[in-house]
């Protein structure tokens, strides 16, 4: 008897993905726990989308700030998600991914942090990442 391994989410998807809380692009996988932003610890869960409109990949990335470090310390470096969570639908293929939509929809009340938006800003030394 053999076990078939199904790779539903390629590394190319994580090369495209970024954290809407802090803008960083590096994620860590902790076996049996999940995938987290390496900078702020926001959790991301990937799910297959129900409809793909003919694209090779159609994925929902669900972000949750329940585990995020220090959202209260410096709002200039992190932006909380509405009600602590947000989803983004990604369509495309490796090397050609695009964002289809965000839920909740970005607007006056909330806007996701863009990729690398805080890269040039240093955190104060007083910020403890494990607070």
State pLDDT tens for residues 78-120. 788 888 899 999 998 888 999 999 999 998 888 898 888 877 7
State pLDDT tens for residues 55-84. 778 888 999 998 887 665 556 677 888 888
At residue 131, the pLDDT reads: 47
Does residue 131 lie within any of the structural domains?
no
Q: Work out the average pLDDT over 13-41.
A: 89
Q: How many domains does the chain have?
A: 1
Question: At residue 130, does pLDDT exceed 50?
Answer: no
Does residue 117 lie within any of the structural domains?
no
Does residue 73 lie within any of the structural domains?
yes
| 92, 63, 84, 73: CA torsion to nearest 10 | -110
* DSSP alpha helix (H) spans, the chain: 11-16
Parent domain of 90 = 11-103
């Amino acid at each position: 008897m053999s076990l078939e391994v199904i790779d539903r989410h390629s590394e190319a998807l994580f090369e495209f993905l970024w954290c809407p809380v802090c803008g960083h692009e590096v994620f860590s996988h902790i076996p049996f726990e999940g995938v987290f932003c390496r900078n702020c610890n926001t959790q991301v869960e990937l799910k297959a989308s129900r409809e793909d409109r003919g694209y090779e990949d159609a994925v929902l990335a669900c972000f949750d700030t329940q585990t995020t470090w220090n959202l209260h310390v410096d709002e200039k470096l992190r932006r909380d998600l509405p009600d602590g969570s947000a989803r983004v639908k990604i369509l495309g293929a490796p090397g050609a991914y695009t964002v289809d939509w965000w839920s909740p929809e970005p607007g006056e009340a909330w806007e996701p942090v863009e990729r690398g938006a805080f890269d040039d800003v240093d955190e104060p030394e007083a910020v403890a990442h494990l607070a």
